[in-house]
Amino acid sequence: MRILLVEDEEKVSRFVARGLKAERYAVDVAADGTSGLDHVRAYSYDLIILDLNLPGMSGTDLLKYIRKSHQHVPVLILTARDNISDKVQNFEEGADDYLTKPFSFAELLVRVKALLRRGPVTNSTTLRVAELELDRVVHKVKRGDKNIDLTSKEFSLLEYLMINTGRVLSRTMIVEHVWDQSFEGLTNIVDVYVRQLRKKIDEGHERKLFRTVRGVGYSITEDGA
């Protein structure tokens, strides 16, 4: 999991970055809006933590850029202002959550984990890959006309794969998203769950959607190739 922290107050960024690294996240820090923009353009992040009052480009403008360039990364806004109209404006620009300063690291970590679990932001309630359809509201999955019964973990795993269609996800990424833990021992469980899920989704179909990339991980694609 790679997180970008855009924050000009060194005290805050040091404390947040140190805490997140201790939780085994990879953290890049940008100290102003412009360098935040450079990072956003150059790298792909699982989460962006964004201060609103920044030198250079403002947090709100950076957020606008992120959404305008169709990046679906979740964004957590940090602000000293507890101003309702600011909040409303930034939610409209595409912020996913808010934290008002001062905050404790524990509070931040709860929000970070929740946003990472949710994964890339997508406005659609239905995810589709070929004739496979996942309804995120009623928690139903169909392939063609056939309903597929999944356990809640299988559902979360499939949702994560489908949000990231075409992208190969490592076992570690899957564990962190679906199980919300990051210790090594759990990565074997991913193989077990993928095998079960794959059977339910692909068995009996000529077109296979699941793909295993040896030594790397798993993905779902239109044609499994």
Contacting residues toward Ca ion, per CB under 5 A: 8, 51, 53
Minimum gap (Å) between residue 52 Cβ and Ca ion: 7
Instruction: Name the closest residue to Ca ion (Cβ).
Output: 53
Q: Is the peptide bond before 102 cis (omega within 30 degrees of 0)?
A: yes
- Specify the residue, 8 or 159, whose C-beta has the smaller distance to Ca ion: 8
- Specify the residue, 53 or 221, whose C-beta has the smaller distance to Ca ion: 53
- Specify the residue, 80 or 213, whose C-beta has the smaller distance to Ca ion: 80
Minimum gap (Å) between residue 54 Cβ and Ca ion: 6
- Specify the residue, 8 or 96, whose C-beta has the smaller distance to Ca ion: 8
Tokens of 45: 């992040």
Q: Name residues whose C-beta falls within 8 Å of residue 123's C-beta, 6 or more positions apart in sequence.
A: none
Minimum gap (Å) between residue 50 Cβ and Ca ion: 10
Minimum gap (Å) between residue 20 Cβ and Ca ion: 18
Amino acid at the residue 221 = T
- Specify the residue, 1 or 77, whose C-beta has the smaller distance to Ca ion: 77
Minimum gap (Å) between residue 80 Cβ and Ca ion: 7
Nearest Cα neighbor of 174 from 70, 199, 163, 66 is: 163
- Specify the residue, 40 or 161, whose C-beta has the smaller distance to Ca ion: 40
Minimum gap (Å) between residue 30 Cβ and Ca ion: 12
